[in-house]
Amino acid sequence: MHIDLIPQWHILTYNIFMSETKRTKIAELLKTPEKTGIGNLVTIKGWVRTKRGNKNVAFIALNDGSTIHSIQVVVDLADFDEEMLKLVNTGACISVSGLLVESPGAGQSVEMHAKQIEVYGSADPDLYPLQKKGHTLEFLREIAHLRPRTNTFGAVLRIRHNMAYAIHKYFNDKGFYYIHTPIITGSDAEGAGAMFRVTTLDMNNLPKNESGEIDYSQDFFGKSTNLTVSGQLNGELAALALSEIYTFGPTFRAENSNTPRHLAEFWMIEPEMAFYDLNDNMDLAEDFLKYLIRYALEHCKDDLEFLEKMYDKELIERLNFVTNNDFERLPYTKAVEILVASGQKFEFPVEWGVDLQSEHERYLVEKVFNKPVILIDYPRDIKAFYMKQNDDGKTVRAMDVLFPRIGEIIGGSQREENYEKLMDRIHELNIPEKDMWWYLETRKFGTAPHAGFGLGFERLMLFVTGMANIRDVIPFPRTPQTADF
């Protein structure tokens, strides 16, 4: 429809409207054009993805991040100031008011005929790093401050939001309470990984004690402190009062592992449940993962379809497959037998007692069982002190959930609730008791069987988005040598 064909009443609405300029999100316009009103005057605001056209008319693809889809804005050049339009380039941020009409072009249901354009911020085409399409993911990591403006990262970030929301919804609907566990910790008993120190001591002038060691009694907390590697130990305290709780927060590990599956700062979801044994724990983990994947399939369809088209042709099929099949459950010992008998050449050789590497985990999942696997009853020497000891004296009630393409996505266990057995383990491992007295008291006063697990949020995101590198599923990744943005 051409501007001079707008009926009179539209001009009227337009005038009234212009004084308000209430913004409509593009997702709303595309979702329910009949409600937002074909033929109505609306205002949209967003970033220009592309501009093309001819002498008379320009077509602008505008995106405001509310959906993967951009809306086409048709600009009759004769109606606008030439200098102003020169500023409307890829990357510029603009506000457009105009008429929403059915689109004659293929690929979009509606488009907008611009009546008024305001430029909030231009983007010099010679300098704007996202001027052209088709950048590599590696390059986009170097401009993590701008990559949310790409279709890929828009999709990833919207899915990430939906997954975070679904996690809270899942637990809330089940009557679990969200517990905020501390980020700064004075105990490093968990042993889940190397820790980052937190200190206010002057690095150039460290106070020393008589034996020449750093005197942390002069530090902010009067002791040596670190960033947490897990919220579990604090989570257990709450579970032994509220029955079913979960934590969902950032965790930090200072390992120098530069892999596509490790971050130095990642988010973890850790439910902890009184009166659960290992089987209950496995049931919850499987149900939880399936719920989240189903939620993504239902609520992130457009974004998943985009990622499937661009990066991973089997993405949606794989997501459906996981939600529709039972996970395989088997003991570690059995898994090692299978791996040894496979005759497969692994980079890291397998024998009973070794910690499985992701190549072993993926072999089991992708080649042997062809579905997610939950391994249980690991050797106690490769697992944390708090895991419940089996009667065989060799293994503990641990569980790792292994996923296609990812390997370990969840690690958890039934916890040792017996005070004496826990103390034996603590002595064996030389864990300083004085740091752990509060944890141990839960086993002294009203101890209860309980269990829990930790889901790596970014590992989940890798699986759900089909992205190959964990750096591409968190907005601002922290990895060795990288903490920009």
Interacting residues with Mg ion (CB under 5 A): 411
From the list ligand 4AD, Mg ion, none, which binds 453 (C-beta under 5 to 8 Å, kind-based)?
ligand 4AD
User: CA 413 to CA 399: how far, in whole Å?
Assistant: 5
Nearest to 43 by CA among 29, 60, 59: 29
**Which position among 230, 234, 395, 414 is part of the footprint of ligand 4AD (CB under 6 A)?**
230
From the list Mg ion, ligand 4AD, none, which binds 459 (C-beta under 5 to 8 Å, kind-based)?
ligand 4AD
The pair of structure tokens assigned to 231 is 């919220």
CB of 265 to ligand 4AD, least distance (A): 8
Interaction with ligand 4AD in 434-473: which residues (CB under 6 A)? 452-454, 456, 458-459
User: CA 231 to CA 179: how far, in whole Å?
Assistant: 9
From the list Mg ion, ligand 4AD, none, which binds 374 (C-beta under 5 to 8 Å, kind-based)?
none
Torsion angle in degrees (nearest 10) through CA of 169, 171, 176, 178: -70
Nearer to ligand 4AD, 360 or 459 (CB): 459
Q: What is the DSSP string of 237-292?
A: HHHHHHSEEEEEEEEE------STT--SEEEEEEEEEET--HHHHHHHHHHHHHHH
Rg of the chain over all Cα atoms, to the nearest angstrom: 28
Neighbours of 9 (CB within 10 A): 9
Nearer to ligand 4AD, 439 or 453 (CB): 453
Q: Does residue 360 interact with ligand 4AD by CB under 6 A?
A: no
CB of 192 to ligand 4AD, least distance (A): 4
Q: Does residue 411 interact with ligand 4AD by CB under 6 A?
A: yes
**Which position among 253, 360, 405, 425 is part of the footprint of ligand 4AD (CB under 6 A)?**
253
User: CA 148 to CA 193: how far, in whole Å?
Assistant: 31
User: CA 110 to CA 254: how far, in whole Å?
Assistant: 50
Pairing mode, strands 328-331 and 265-274:
unpaired
CB 14 within 8 A of CB 114: no
CB of 410 to ligand 4AD, least distance (A): 5
Decide: helix, strand or coil at residue 58. Answer: strand
Q: Does residue 408 interact with ligand 4AD by CB under 6 A?
A: yes
Interaction with ligand 4AD in 278-317: which residues (CB under 6 A)? none
The pair of structure tokens assigned to 63 is 């995106």
Query: In one letter, which amino acid is 265?
Result: E
Query: In one letter, which amino acid is 96?
Result: V
**Which position among 263, 274, 304, 336 is part of the footprint of ligand 4AD (CB under 6 A)?**
263
Q: Any residues with CB less than 8 A from the CB of 417 and at least 6 apart, and which?
A: 388, 443, 447, 448, 449, 450
Region near ligand 4AD per CB under 6 A, out of 104-112, 346-354, 402-410, 475-483: 402-410
Quick note: the x/- pattern for ligand 4AD over 187-216, rule CB under 6 A, is -----x------------------------
Nearer to ligand 4AD, 89 or 251 (CB): 251
CB of 21 to ligand 4AD, least distance (A): 44
Nearer to ligand 4AD, 111 or 458 (CB): 458
CA angle 305, 298, 307 (to 5 degrees): 20
Which residues contribute to the site for ligand 4AD (CB under 6 A)? 192, 230, 232, 253, 262-263, 266, 268, 270, 408-412, 452-454, 456, 458-459
